[in-house]
A and B are shown apart, each in its own frame.
Chain A
Amino acid sequence: MIRRLPGSARVALAFVLLLWIVAAVSPAFTARAADIRLEERLLPPSLAHPFGTDDLGRDLAARVIAATPISLTIGLVAAAVSVVVGFGVGAAGGYLGGVADLLLSRLTEVVLCFPVLFLLLALAAFLPPSPATVVLAIGLTTWPADARYARAEILKAKNLDYARAAKAAGARPARVVLRHLLPNALPPLLVSAAFGVSWAILAEAALSFLGVGLPPPAASWGGILSAAPSYIEEAWWLALFPGLALFATVSAYNLLAEGLRQATTEAGGN
């Protein structure tokens, strides 16, 4: 699989792995990230503080590093929720067809009609604030894209010989879908999931930026950025560095997804 990835996607994959390594060592920075020194507030970047300091004198570089695992994990788990729900709805509709497909397709369309951020904000603000709420809110608003992917894949595959053979051998629908169709639909779903991770990371950052994401003291990149507008006239570094981490991460996942898509469509084309 990796050997078929284009060069840009391999670089992206390496960067994603590096991010997870940073996330693994980040607990070493949490003490520094929480170290409030009011006499050092809003210092511009320097050797002592490469990203500068925030409005409470905390080292911004340490805070950005300490936030890595939160942003990455929420992105991954929320994307997983989205893929599981989306695959369930899409595969059920595609395999069962008829009325079930009509209803599930309408359900997908209904959710697609809502502006994502409207639903996200309502869910995140109405449910008790916790990481689980954020993950659920993101997963439950972004699954329609995965459902459409899954449905299309299942429709393509369900009349192929191996699926008919499994059915003729007496396998139940759930078994046909999970044991026979799912493995074959996996590559496109993987692409959808990789795009989903970057989406989920952005969504979490948007929620935290707007102040309805993770409850304090947990701080994601979006949460760190939420302080930036108040100091836009005096401290540009508050906006630049946490956003840069976010941008680089989202770009890497998008590049990886794009490369996976190329690799799988080329492989499937022959």
Chain B
Amino acid sequence: MGDARRVGDSGEAELTRYVVRRILLAIPTLFGIVVLVFLLLHLAPGSPVSASGSPESGRRVSGAAREEMRRLYDLHLPLPERFGKWIGRVVRFDLGESFVDRRPVSERIREALPATLALNGLALLLTLAIAIPLGVVAGGRPEGPFDRISAVALFALYSMPVFWAALLLQSLLSVELGWLPLYGVSSDDAPGGIAGIGDRLAHLALPVTCLTYGSLAFLARIVRAGVVDARSQVYFTAALARGVSRRAALWRHAFRNALLPVITLLGLLLPGLLSGSVIVERIFAWPGLGRLYFDSILSRDYPVVLGLSLVGAVATLAATLAADVAYAFADPRVRESA
């Protein structure tokens, strides 16, 4: 067994090397994110760049707000020093105060986070719960009737603008049929206890649907492609030849291999969900991060805009990093040798 032992060691070392390399590569990316947000700040009306530029039509900032910007972001300092101060504050997680209500940006973000987590968490679960079986069944019989019909349906969902879907669902299910509430988190006269939970779920139904269908269409197509690819591999034929039932071969062999690329994609779903949140939370009056971001854009609340951009990008970086590391561990070619 000496050989197997040696192979095991090198597999583990390789895994460690991969994870370390991946983390090291994330450091310049993190730095890049901080720089890009810093640049975004300089685009903001009232900042040195836009003040020296052409007069902004309809986007003037009051003298007080400009003074506030200067103080908050040290705009009177030369560029390198200003950047140093910005880095210093980011490192201390000091995102400044909201222009609108003077409260710390981190506090406002923390307040809006649960609503968005509930919405996106449910959407993500629903996406996985539907997309994976759909992709496996469709890919199990490529060009079969189910595959053809689901392909057309998924394609239509993929091309459907989320705000249009939201408006159609609202007019059909809320206005015409009166089954679901139009918007909001809960009814004003919502009862407590079990009935209250039902009311909350009814309010979640439409926004969660709108956040789900796009990523569902995307993911199901990826799973299907993975399963179709796995079906043509030797191990699949071998499993069938051993007398494993078609269903078992599909789920135990083809599906597990098709799942690997899905893991890495999960990290990339996050920015898409956050983008979707901006539109969905606006239409359904949902008090989450997306709405906070949009309201802050409209009210020129730069500390909140910059803080949320930073948090969103760093969260995405962390998610893709975690997904890549999980992939390395989940890949049997690495795991079994380790």
**Which residues on A are within 8 Å of B, measured CB to CB?**
103, 106-107, 109-119, 121-123, 125-129, 198, 202, 205-206, 209-210, 212, 222, 225, 228-229, 232-233, 236, 239-240, 243, 246-247, 250-251, 254-255, 258
Q: Which residue of A lies closest to B306 (CB)?
A: A122
Tell me if B309 and A122 are in contact (CB < 8 A): yes
Tell me if A250 and B316 are in contact (CB < 8 A): no
Given contacts A106-B32, A109-B29, A113-B29, contact A239 B164 (CB under 8 A): yes
Shortest beta-carbon contacts, A-B, top 9: A243-B164, A110-B32, A117-B275, A239-B167, A115-B274, A251-B159, A115-B271, A113-B313, A236-B171
Extra contacts, 17 of them, besides A113-B320, A129-B58 (Cβ < 8 A), are: A103-B28, A110-B313, A112-B268, A113-B317, A114-B271, A114-B309, A114-B312, A115-B275, A122-B43, A122-B297, A122-B305, A122-B309, A125-B297, A206-B279, A212-B297, A232-B175, A239-B168
Dominant secondary structure of chain B at its interface with chain A: helix
Q: Which residue of A lies closest to B171 (CB)?
A: A236
- A sample of 23 inter-chain contacts (CB < 8 A) reads A106-B32, A110-B36, A113-B316, A114-B313, A117-B279, A118-B278, A118-B293, A119-B40, A119-B309, A121-B297, A122-B305, A128-B54, A128-B59, A198-B159, A205-B163, A212-B297, A236-B171, A236-B175, A239-B171, A247-B159, A247-B161, A254-B155, A254-B159
Partner of A126, one of B43, B58, B159, B312: B43
Q: Which residue of A lies closest to B59 (CB)?
A: A128
Tell me if A202 and B161 are in contact (CB < 8 A): yes
Instruction: Tell me how many residues of B have a C-beta within 8 Å of chain A.
Output: 55
Quick check: is B325 within 8 A (CB to CB) of the other chain? no
Quick check: is B272 within 8 A (CB to CB) of the other chain? yes
Dominant secondary structure of chain A at its interface with chain B: helix
Given contacts A117-B278, A118-B309, A225-B164, contact A128 B170 (CB under 8 A): no
Tell me if B56 and A114 are in contact (CB < 8 A): no
Distance from A223 Cβ to chain B, minimum over Cβ atoms (Å): 12
Per-residue interface assignment for chain B, residues 295 to 329, with 1 indicating a CB less than 8 Å from any chain A CB and 0 otherwise: 00110000001001100111011001000000000
**Which residues on B are within 8 Å of A, measured CB to CB?**
25, 28-29, 32-33, 36, 40, 43-45, 50, 54, 56-59, 155-156, 158-164, 167-168, 170-171, 175-176, 182, 268, 271-272, 274-276, 278-279, 282-283, 293-294, 297-298, 305, 308-309, 312-314, 316-317, 320
Tell me if B308 and A118 are in contact (CB < 8 A): yes
Given contacts A110-B36, A251-B156, contact A116 B271 (CB under 8 A): yes
Given contacts A122-B309, A128-B57, A129-B57, contact A210 B294 (CB under 8 A): yes
Q: Which of A103, A113, A123, A225 has the most chain B CB atoms closer than 10 A to its own CB? A: A113
Query: For the complex, what is the distance from the CA of A255 to the CA of B159, rounded to whole Å?
Result: 9
Partner of B167, one of A113, A117, A232, A251: A232
Tell me if A121 and B293 are in contact (CB < 8 A): yes
Tell me if B283 and A240 are in contact (CB < 8 A): no
Complex contacts, B163 vs chain A, CB 8 Å: 205-206, 209, 222, 225, 243
Partner of B161, one of A107, A246, A255: A246
Query: For the complex, what is the distance from the CA of A24 to the CA of B252, rounded to whole Å?
Result: 55
Complex contacts, B158 vs chain A, CB 8 Å: 254
Query: For the complex, what is the distance from the CA of A118 to the CA of B320, rounded to whole Å?
Result: 18
Q: Which residue of B lies closest to A120 (CB)?
A: B275
Tell me if A228 and B167 are in contact (CB < 8 A): yes
Tell me if B279 and A106 are in contact (CB < 8 A): no
Distance from B111 Cβ to chain A, minimum over Cβ atoms (Å): 18
Query: For the complex, what is the distance from the CA of A259 to the CA of B168, rounded to whole Å?
Result: 29
Distance from A55 Cβ to chain B, minimum over Cβ atoms (Å): 15
Partner of B171, one of A109, A113, A115, A232: A232
Complex contacts, A229 vs chain B, CB 8 Å: 167, 283
